[in-house]
Amino acid sequence: MEHDTPDGIRLLEPTDAQHAAALRMVVSGQTVPDRATNHRVAELTNFVRGLSLSIEPVLGVFRGSRLVCACASVATPGRITLVYLPPERVAKRYRREMTSMLRALQERTWEQAMAIAQALVWPEASNTEEALSDAGFHFLAELAYQERPADAPPARTRIRTDLSFVPYSQHTHHLFIQALDLTYVGSLDCPDLTGLRDTEDVLAMHRATGRHDPALWLVASCGSQLAGVLLLSQVLRRPVLEVVYMGVTPEVRGQGMGDALLARAVDECARRRATFLTLAVDSDNHPALGLYKRWGFVETARRRAWIATGPKARH
């Protein structure tokens, strides 16, 4: 992609004078600096740097010399590019420009051999969703973000005691690949993602979430049978653990495995002196929603996930 296009779209390097203005546009919908906007830009950049990643590229749409729309993206090790878009009011006014910008972003994303571009938007952002759709993205799922205080009482259910847990290491890497592949079969959590990337890429993405600790990655077995996977991560700069992924193999679903995995997650919260346990779940995954409700999780927000798949994605 050229640095300037007929549509007025520019690739903004960190040395470009408009780079900071574009980031302000992304987080607040305005280019004029103020304390609140600068704080939000700092939060975003510090979060991304904390994951040892970078915000790149940043694209801006210009009318003459005036920046009217912008987006930023972060390429993750798992070959997913996370797309950050400005507030809905910008999309409402400059939807055509946003569509062109998203197409240009995809072109650059696929040049980098990424498999998926993903954007998270508020449920009320209809103009943003129309721009995403016009640019070739499709709706994936509405995600329900949930949290549970670490000191909340456990679920009133019998917890299985016949499981063994193996932590992640180079020697157990193959078990995690095998267990993840099994848990994807018939999964109700964002099923359209299944098969779009190699499982190695999926693990790489999970490893880049928060502060990775191999002791918090566990494969559960019942005798010689793989039963499930629990991947926890320490949230950056907060005493919080996140359930990055939790899955149960098809043969043992409905047998209390989800309760057993969550009980282990709650135990890890206590050991790490975390204050909360957080997660995100597909809002159409009703069995999982029931499980989390039983364990005292409450919903804190919702986002709608849209994705575009590149030529390097598996189908």
Q: What is the domain-level CATH number for residue 73?
A: 3.40.630.30
The secondary structure of residue 239, as a DSSP letter, is S
Check whether residue 48 and residue 169 sit in a common domain. no
Is residue 182 located within the same domain as residue 120? Answer: no
Do 84 and 44 contact (CB within 8 A), yes or no? yes
pLDDT band at 312 (very low <50, low <70, confident <90, very high): confident
* Assigned domain for 100 exists: yes
Phi, psi of 62 (to 5 degrees): -120, 140
> Pick from 136, 156, 187: which residue ends a domain?
136
Residue whose pair of structure tokens reads 């499980």 in the numeric block:
291
- Please check whether residue 315 lies inside any domain of the structure: no
Contacts of 300 by beta carbon, 8 Å cutoff, 6+ apart: 145, 146, 147
158 and 127, same structural domain? no
Supply the pTM of this predicted model.
0.93
* 161/117 same-domain check: no
Work out the average pLDDT over 208-229: 95
Q: Is residue 141 one of the residues assigned to a domain?
A: no
Q: Are residues 77 and 158 in the same domain?
A: no
The residue out of 114, 136, 158 marking a domain boundary is 136
Average pLDDT for 114-123: 97
> Of 79, 109, 310, which is closest to residue 200 (Cα–Cα)?
79
**Residue labelled with tokens 């609140």:** 36
Burial label for 98, CB within 10 Å (0-12, 13-18, 19+), is buried
Q: Are residues 87 and 152 in the same domain?
A: no
Average pLDDT score, the chain: 94
The pLDDT value given to residue 208: 92
The residues pairing with 246 across neighbouring beta strands, listed in sequence order, are: 230
| Residue 266 placed within a domain | yes
Q: Which two tokens stand for residue 111?
A: 């040049």
Residues 6+ positions from 199 with CB-CB distance below 8 Å: 177, 180, 181
d(CA 213, CA 217): 7
Q: Is residue 311 part of a domain?
A: no
Do 78 and 104 have their domain in common? yes
User: pLDDT tens-digit profile of 89-109?
Assistant: 999 999 999 999 999 999 999
CA distance 273 to 124: 36
Mean pLDDT on 115-137: 97
Same domain, 76 and 170: no
Q: Phi and psi for 238 in degrees, rounded to 5?
A: -145, 145
> What is the tens place of the pLDDT at every residue in 289-311?
999 999 999 999 999 999 999 99
Q: Within this chain, do residues 178 and 297 fall inside the same structural domain, yes or no?
A: yes
Give the other-Cβ count within 10 Å of 28's Cβ: 19
The alpha carbon of residue 57 and the mean position of all alpha carbons in its chain are separated, in whole angstroms, by 18
Range of the domain at 89: 9-136
Contact, 284 vs 155, CB < 8 A? no
Does residue 229 contact residue 245 with C-beta atoms inside 8 Å?
A: yes
Query: Residue 314: inside a domain, yes or no?
Result: no
Q: What pLDDT sits at residue 315?
A: 54
The model's pLDDT over 11-32, given as tens digits with 9 standing for 90+, comes to 999 999 899 999 999 999 999 9
pLDDT of 7: 63
| Residues 170 and 291 occupy one common structural domain | yes
Tell me, yes or no, whether 236 and 107 share the same domain. Answer: no
- Look at residues 111, 136, 161 and tell me which one is the last residue of a structural domain: 136
Mean pLDDT of 254-260: 94
Is residue 293 a contact partner of residue 259, using CB atoms and an 8 Å limit? no
pLDDT given for residue 123 in this prediction: 96
Q: Which residue type occupies 173?
A: H
Residues 215 and 294 in one domain: yes
Whether 35 is in a domain gets the answer yes
**pLDDT number for residue 205:** 94
Q: Which residues pair with 187 in a beta bridge?
A: none
Establish if 192 belongs to a structural domain: yes
Cα of first residue to Cα of last residue in the chain, in angstroms, is: 26
Q: What is the mean pLDDT of residues 193-204?
A: 94
Number of domains the chain contains: 2
Determine how many CB atoms are found less than 10 A away from the CB of residue 146. 22
- Indicate if the pLDDT at residue 275 is higher than 70: yes
